[in-house]
Amino acid sequence: MFMKNISFFIYESIDKTVLFMVKLFLTLNNTTNNKYRGAFMIGVFDKGRLRDLLKDFYTVVGIRISVFDDEFNLVTEYPDTAPELCRMIRKKQEGRDACKECDNEACIRAKKLGAAHVYICHAGVTEAITPLDYGGGIIGYAIFAHMIPEEGQEEAIDEICRRCSPLYGSKEEIRNAAMGIATQSQERILSAAKLLNAIAAYLIISGLAVWRNEDFSRQIDKYIDDNISGDLSTETLCRRFYISRTKLHTVSSHAFGMSIARYVAHKRIDKACKLLRESASTVTDIATAVGIPDYNYFCKFFRRYVGVSPGAYRAEK
């Protein structure tokens, strides 16, 4: 129902719709604010559903949308492919660094302002950003990216050429790339900024972006126990819990006192020691049971953490 009505509130009654969504959002904030104040919280995103939502919004408004977490790491965006101008800029390390710094600065401003605002990026392209405020804390940020105002389009493109040429391409190449960025009226750009407030509210209300408390670490611990024989790489855990590598490291350091990779290693060793003490399984079977099926590597791995070989450990116990 929300998506069916989106065209209506963009073009005819955006102020009323946004006001309703923001009021609902603030109500949610007020009811959760005390619950989460002072606790160790982690912001997580349902990337699959979030991406579907961004795709729907793009289909309607035709503006690229990116979502960042509270540490300014990109969570997801749609479409995947950036405009030609951005691809030209990001071919160079200084361009990638400038884009990252610009995104970080935009997130910091949004956090200070506590509201959506329109700004010009380092390359001269117009964008809009809003913080995702949940329970009195910023869980992330949403950005409408890559817009050029219809009013003063030539002046805007001239400014883009001034900023980007010749570092990222010739003036002609930059101009041609800039011409490929969609133009929006000033009114539509301002409406997009208001729309971001509604998006922010919807992300929270629909559970696409949520806080999780210290019980989250218990969920990770249980998942590791339940899947000790399988793939427990950082990438796998990040995908399973919809969390960035940085956030996973934060949770692991806070809850387990060490990196997640080291914690997984300790869990595998603990399980191996238990099986060596309490079962008659072969070392090969135990290696497979704890997720290290290579016998030789398992023996080296075990000795590194325990100080003796698996066979010697079993004999001692």
CATH number at residue 267: 1.10.10.60
Q: What confidence tier does 44 reach under pLDDT thresholds 50, 70, 90?
A: low
Neighbours of 246 (CB within 10 A): 14
Q: Contacts for 274-280 with beta carbons within 8 Å, 24 or more apart?
A: 276/310, 276/313, 276/314, 276/317, 277/314, 277/317
Instruction: Specify whether 248 is located in the same domain as 122.
Output: no
Instruction: Specify whether 70 is located in the same domain as 115.
Output: yes
* pLDDT score of 51: 86
pTM: 0.59
**Average pLDDT of the chain?**
82
Average pLDDT, integer, range 222-248: 89
Q: Which residue has the higher pLDDT, 240 or 105?
A: 105
Domain stop point among 212, 236, 265: 212
Instruction: Specify if 304 maps to a domain.
Output: yes
User: Measured between alpha carbons, how far is 146 from 82 in angstroms, rounded to an integer?
Assistant: 9
Instruction: Specify if 1 maps to a domain.
Output: no
Instruction: Specify whether 41 is located in the same domain as 60.
Output: yes
Instruction: Specify if 174 maps to a domain.
Output: yes
Domain stop point among 197, 212, 227: 212
**116 and 129 Cβ atoms separated by less than 8 Å:** yes
Q: 288: Cβ–Cβ under 8 A, 6 or more apart, which residues?
A: 229
* pLDDT score of 232: 96
Average pLDDT, integer, range 236-246: 83
Instruction: Specify if 303 maps to a domain.
Output: yes
User: Measured between alpha carbons, how far is 71 from 140 in angstroms, rounded to an integer?
Assistant: 8
- Phi, psi (degrees; rounded to nearest 5) at 211: -90, 145
Q: What confidence tier does 12 reach under pLDDT thresholds 50, 70, 90?
A: very low
Instruction: Specify if 254 maps to a domain.
Output: yes
Domain stop point among 177, 212, 247: 212
Average pLDDT, integer, range 244-261: 86
Give the dihedral of Cα atoms 181, 182, 183, 186; nearest 10 deg.
-110
Instruction: Specify whether 158 is located in the same domain as 186.
Output: yes
* pLDDT score of 253: 86
Q: Which residue has the higher pLDDT, 192 or 39?
A: 192
Domain of 94? Answer: 6-212
Average pLDDT, integer, range 70-88: 89
- Phi, psi (degrees; rounded to nearest 5) at 268: -65, -45
